[in-house]
Amino acid sequence: MSIADFNPAAEVRGDTLYFDGVSAIELAKRYGTPLYVVSETTVRRRCAAIRSAFLDKYPNTAAVYASKAFQTLDMCRIVTEEGLGLDVVSGGELYAALKAGVAPAKIIFHGNAKSADELDYAVRSDVGRIVSDNLFEIAELERLGALYGKKVRVLYRVTPGVDSHTHRFISTGSLDSKFGIPLDPSVRDDYMRAVLDASHLDFRGFHFHIGSQLHDNFSHLAALRIILKLVADVASAYGYAAPELNLGGGFGVRYLPGDPALDPGYFVDPMMELIRSSCGEAGIPMPLVTIEPGRWIIGEAGITLYTVRSVKTIPGIRTYVGVDGGMTDNIRPALYEAKYHALLANKAGEAEAAPGGAPSGSPVASAAAGAAAALVTVVGKCCETGDVLIRDIALPDPRPGDTLAVFSTGAYNHSMASNYNRIPRPAVVLTRAGTHRLSVRRETYEDLVAREV
Ligand SMILES: Cc1ncc(COP(=O)(O)O)c(C=O)c1O
């Protein structure tokens, strides 16, 4: 598999990796490393794919981008220009969305422990929907609705009790979860009465999100069957046919060359069919159906560029390649053993030259490229042994000064970045068909102490 087959925005010219038509080496020189590079072209293509596979294909549908995956003002503007709404999960994400000019009606506000201030901010801002999962919040929203003379549009996040096939830290749909309302009949009535009897709440329906980075649709379908039964039960018990159904996100992306490339249709087509048949059987109208993809839109649109700073071989054990970033810009490997693919952007021709164009990281590549592409372990610069970005990847003779490009870092990297060890967070550069521009500047040392009083 060539690198372009793995990621359509990537291409090798000579020995140099190009991303979205821009030389990765030029970007590293111009903006410094570590550097988040985001292909606006890919983001817009992914939004277009959501439109054609879902919004244009099925009437009465909506798609909101789960901005926790990667939220910048530019990103908010790009996805809304492309016809998506925005899912936010904190006052800070709401603030940025509004600052970017996102229409409040297009915003869905999530969170399992929203503060009173956040609820007040969301109601005052007239966000489109607030997704609630506890009775304290329902009481508070009713109070705020009365205070501001508004009807607050509310959905319930429910826990379908489905274990999704993903890392347990990003699995959210099982019964033992901090997210969502359990469907146990002993508690269901309290929740339903609270929201249906409230005079300042407009209950719109149910939401579920079962987990992230899913490579099969079984868990989505299993959860949906359970929620559709709930919708039918609520319709018969309370005479209320919920007009909306929110299916969450979770569509998986490619981190490694062996991962499947899944279209949104793989997830949404069978779900739409199930909703249609179930509503038909229950004699209730088709609801407005919303999806909330985050990772699927931004994950493969991003790469991170690092400079190799050290190469250390421990005879008979392993070779450590130390780069100038690490768990501060990408916590995912340390947090849930996430795997990544990478290559040396200034020696990219060598990985491509391996028979079959096998990307580094595969045993084929290491065998083909011989000693020059031995397996190494890429580590960050933080004072944590667990600061390992990639374990056992074949890189051709890495040397200090080389530029390492790590793929599929668009989602949950920048948004989860920290300042551990007082490391400034990297800049974000947007590329678009051969052009590039700074979107978020690199943090400075001054930024690091700016909040101290
Ligand atoms: C409620 C909700 N919706 C959508 C998403 C987006 O998930 P993904 O990025 O896997 O599509 C998440 C992620 O945690 C979520 O909690």
Q: What is the pLDDT of residues 256-265, one digit of tens each?
A: 999 999 999 9
Evaluate: CB of 209 within 6 angstroms of ligand 1. Answer: yes
pLDDT at residue 354, rounded to an integer:
58
Asked if the structure places residue 45 within a domain, the reply is no
Asked if the structure places residue 46 within a domain, the reply is no
Asked if the structure places residue 105 within a domain, the reply is no
Give the residue from 293, 317, 335 where a domain finishes: 293
Residue 268 and residue 319 in one domain: no
Evaluate: CB of 66 within 6 angstroms of ligand 1. Answer: yes
Q: What average pLDDT does the segment 72-80 reach?
A: 98
Question: DSSP letter string over 290-317?
Answer: EE--SHHHHGGGEEEEEEEEEEEEETTT
pLDDT value at 365 more than 60: no
pLDDT value at 373 more than 80: no
Give the residue from 293, 308, 339 where a domain finishes: 293
Residue 161 and residue 225 in one domain: yes
* Half-sphere exposure in the Cβ direction for 237 (13 Å, CA): 12
Residue 154 and residue 273 in one domain: yes
- Residue 165's pLDDT band, with cuts at 50, 70 and 90, is low
pLDDT value at 225 more than 90: yes
Give the residue from 293, 325, 342 where a domain finishes: 293
> Which of 43, 64, 68 to mutate for ligand 1's pocket (most ligand atoms within 8 Å of CB)?
68
Distance CA 109, CA 131 (A): 6
User: What CATH number corresponds to the domain at position 185?
Assistant: 3.20.20.10
Residue 402 and residue 284 in one domain: no
Instruction: Record the pTM.
Output: 0.94
pLDDT at residue 162, rounded to an integer:
82
pLDDT at residue 169, rounded to an integer:
58
Residue 305 and residue 289 in one domain: no
Distance CA 450, CA 453 (A): 8
Evaluate: CB of 251 within 6 angstroms of ligand 1. Answer: yes
Q: Atom 4, ligand 1: which residue's CA is nearest?
A: 249
- In sequence order, which residues have a C-beta less than 8 Å from that of residue 25 and are 6 or more positions away? 16, 17, 345, 346, 403
Asked if the structure places residue 64 within a domain, the reply is no
* Ligand 1 centroid distance, CA of 254 (Å): 16
What the block records as the tokens of 11 is: 């291409």
Cα dihedral across residues 75, 80, 67, 345: positive or negative: negative
- Average pLDDT of the chain to the nearest whole number: 93
Residue 115 and residue 142 in one domain: yes
% residues pLDDT > 70 (the chain): 93
Residue 129 and residue 211 in one domain: yes
pLDDT at residue 359, rounded to an integer:
47
Helices and strands in the chain, H and E counts = 15, 21
- Residue 19's pLDDT band, with cuts at 50, 70 and 90, is very high
Evaluate: CB of 293 within 6 angstroms of ligand 1. Answer: yes
Question: DSSP letter string over 352-398?
Answer: HHSGGGPPTTSHHHHHHHGGGG-EEEEE-SSS-TT-EEEEEEE-SS-
List the single range of 37-46, 183-192, 300-309 with lowest mean pLDDT. 183-192
In degrees to the nearest 10, what's the CA dihedral of 239, 59, 262, 337?
Answer: -50
pLDDT at residue 357, rounded to an integer:
42
- Residue 361's pLDDT band, with cuts at 50, 70 and 90, is very low
Residue 288 and residue 360 in one domain: no
What the block records as the tokens of 156 is: 């319930």
Q: How many domains would you assign to the chain?
A: 2
Evaluate: CB of 299 within 6 angstroms of ligand 1. Answer: no
Residue 274 and residue 362 in one domain: no
pLDDT value at 336 more than 70: yes
Distance CA 37, CA 32 (A): 11
pLDDT at residue 170, rounded to an integer:
56
Asked if the structure places residue 143 within a domain, the reply is yes
pLDDT at residue 388, rounded to an integer:
98
Residue 130 and residue 220 in one domain: yes
pLDDT at residue 369, rounded to an integer:
43
pLDDT at residue 368, rounded to an integer:
39
pLDDT at residue 174, rounded to an integer:
65
pLDDT value at 333 more than 80: yes
Residue 314 and residue 289 in one domain: no
Q: What average pLDDT does the segment 212-220 reach?
A: 93
Asked if the structure places residue 90 within a domain, the reply is no
* Ligand 1 centroid distance, CA of 69 (Å): 8
pLDDT at residue 182, rounded to an integer:
83
Asked if the structure places residue 74 within a domain, the reply is no
User: What CATH number corresponds to the domain at position 436?
Assistant: 2.40.37.10
Residue 175 vs residue 184, higher pLDDT: 184
Burial 343-363 (b: 16+ CB within 10 A, else e): bbbbbbbbbbebeebbbbbbe
pLDDT in tens, 393-417: 999 999 999 999 999 999 999 999 9
pLDDT at residue 176, rounded to an integer:
78
pLDDT value at 364 more than 60: no
State the residue range of the domain holding 328.
3-39+299-449
pLDDT at residue 168, rounded to an integer:
60
- Residue 179's pLDDT band, with cuts at 50, 70 and 90, is confident
Asked if the structure places residue 85 within a domain, the reply is no
Residues annotated as catalytic are 383
- Residue 358's pLDDT band, with cuts at 50, 70 and 90, is very low
Residue 130 and residue 206 in one domain: yes
pLDDT at residue 186, rounded to an integer:
84
